[in-house]
Structure 1
Amino acid sequence: MRNLILLHGALGHHNIFNPYLETLSRYFKVHTPLFSGHGDTELPADEINIEKYNKELALYCKDRNLTDVFMLGHSMGGYIALCYALQFPENVNSIITLGTKFDWTEEQAVKESKMLNPDVILEKVPKYAQLLESQHGSKWRQLLPAVADLMIDLGKNPPLKNNLNIINNPVQIMVGDKDNMVTIEESVDAYRRLPNAKLAVLPDTKHPMDKVRPSLLLDLIKDFWNLS
């Protein structure tokens, strides 16, 4: 059976894919790894960054002898899937990204990272703090600044910035029309730079995975991968 890896975003969790597992399992053996520091995994003593997470994905595939892999990545998960394809194109069948930010600059990263203050989130968005604690346990307070540093590092050294044109694997770039983190313009730019890409803009769709309508996303997935 074909292998599909579902990759969550920064501060995300593999349970965001639960509404899709029953349907996707009809067509694939579905893998839902967790990046270190997320869920019940330990937060590394050293920093987390895109390179580290790409290595974790590579090790996950190597340990399970996964080749010709299908990948669907939400937000950061889509970025890492493309980084993996850049390094191991022979192991990737195709990729779908959803809500993946491509236009990373140092200024943008600093702006995004400032929103990841645990005390501010506890005060201003207590429901989100509760969600983070339910997904990542008490270490969510340490995970936030670690992800902030990841963003700043990504802003300084975005590995895909000048390399999208090298990725020849089939890719579908997807973005919600109401995504407040990822612009349609940067998604179109990425789509145009990828040699073998398609583009889908999801109507009335925000950035968080739980704001995406499963029926809409599943239809797009089935269309791209010719599932019937």
Structure 2
Amino acid sequence: MKNLILLHGALGHSSNFEPYESFLSQHFNVHKVLFHGHGGSEIPAAGLSIELYVEQLQQYLEQQELNDIYVFGYSMGGYVAMCHALQYPGKITSILTLATKLNWTIEGAAKEVKMLEPELIESKVPRYAAQLMTLHGENHWKQLLPAIATLMTRLAVKPLLTQTQYESLNLPVQMMVGDKDAMVSIDETLFATKNIPNANFAVLPDTKHPIEMARPELLIGLMKDFWKI
């Protein structure tokens, strides 16, 4: 059976994919990678970065001796998957992404970083603070936020995916974005799609950024179409 890797987003968790696992396990051997720093795991002294996560993914593939690999990457997970495909060509068979932020700028990153202050989240969106606490630990989530903020700033200073990289992606890619996503624009997703040689594009109606707010039946329909399952 084919192998499917599920890659969560920044500040997310492998458990975010639970609504899809029952369906996906009928067609794939499903694997989930919990990125460093998430779920209460240790944040390396050098901090968090896309490069770190690319190597973490590669180490997992080697340890599990996986081949014929398909990837569903949500948000940051999609970015990691595409960077991995560029660095280790031929290892991944195809990538399906949802809500992956691709156009990182200094101004855009600063805007996102401003919203990652623990005290601000606790006072303005206590429900989200409680969610982060549940996913990453009572105190650990407050350490994870600045580490992710630094990751975003690094991407803005040195983007890893540009037009040149898109043109070098030599595998099928399904790019998806919600029409109500306040973080990821349709334009940046469409730009990447047009420059990736074998890419499809889909806009999910009435869909915001958080994967928890996506409709499973809609996503599953697109998965069936892309993967021909």
- TM-score bracket, normalised by the shorter chain, equals over 0.9
Deviation at 1:68, TM superposition (A): 2.2
Deviation at 1:108, TM superposition (A): 1.1
Whole-angstrom distance in 1 between the partners of 2:28 and 2:42: 28
Whole-angstrom distance in 1 between the partners of 2:61 and 2:156: 27
Q: Which residue of 2 aligns with 1:72?
A: 72
1:84-123 to 2 correspondences below 5 Å: 84-123=84-123
Q: Which residue of 2 aligns with 1:151?
A: 152
1:31-180 to 2 correspondences below 5 Å: 31-137=31-137, 138-161=139-162, 162-180=164-182
Question: Tell me, which stretches of 5 or more residues in structure 1 are unaligned?
Answer: none
Percentage of identical aligned residues: 53
Superposition misfits of 4+ residues, deviation over 4 angstroms: none
Q: After superposition, what is the alpha-carbon deviation per residue over 1:59-91, rounded to whole angstroms, capped at 9, x for unaligned?
A: 111111112210000000000000010011211
Deviation at 1:110, TM superposition (A): 1.4
Whole-angstrom distance in 2 between the partners of 1:41 and 1:196: 36
Whole-angstrom distance in 1 between the partners of 2:45 and 2:87: 26
Whole-angstrom distance in 1 between the partners of 2:160 and 2:6: 21
The AA in structure 2 aligned to 1:179 is D
Deviation at 1:106, TM superposition (A): 1.7
Q: After superposition, what is the alpha-carbon deviation per residue over 1:87-115, rounded to whole angstroms, capped at 9, x for unaligned?
A: 11211110001000111112211111111
Alignment RMSD = 0.8
Q: Does residue 18 of structure 2 align to residue 18 of structure 1? A: yes
Any idea what SS the aligned residue of 1:52 has?
Answer: helix
Whole-angstrom distance in 2 between the partners of 1:154 and 1:60: 23
| Candidates 215, 218, 221, aligned match of 1:216 | 218
Whole-angstrom distance in 2 between the partners of 1:202 and 1:65: 34
The AA in structure 2 aligned to 1:139 is H
TM score, norm. by length of structure 1: 0.98
Whole-angstrom distance in 2 between the partners of 1:109 and 1:8: 19
Is the CA contact (8 Å cut-off) linking 1:67 and 1:90 kept in structure 2? no
Q: Does residue 189 of structure 2 align to residue 187 of structure 1? A: yes
Deviation at 1:136, TM superposition (A): 0.3
Deviation at 1:40, TM superposition (A): 3.4
TM score, norm. by length of structure 2: 0.98
Any idea what SS the aligned residue of 1:206 has?
Answer: coil
Question: Tell me, which stretches of 5 or more residues in structure 2 are unaligned?
Answer: none
Whole-angstrom distance in 2 between the partners of 1:78 and 1:42: 22
The AA in structure 1 aligned to 2:156 is G
Any idea what SS the aligned residue of 1:110 has?
Answer: helix
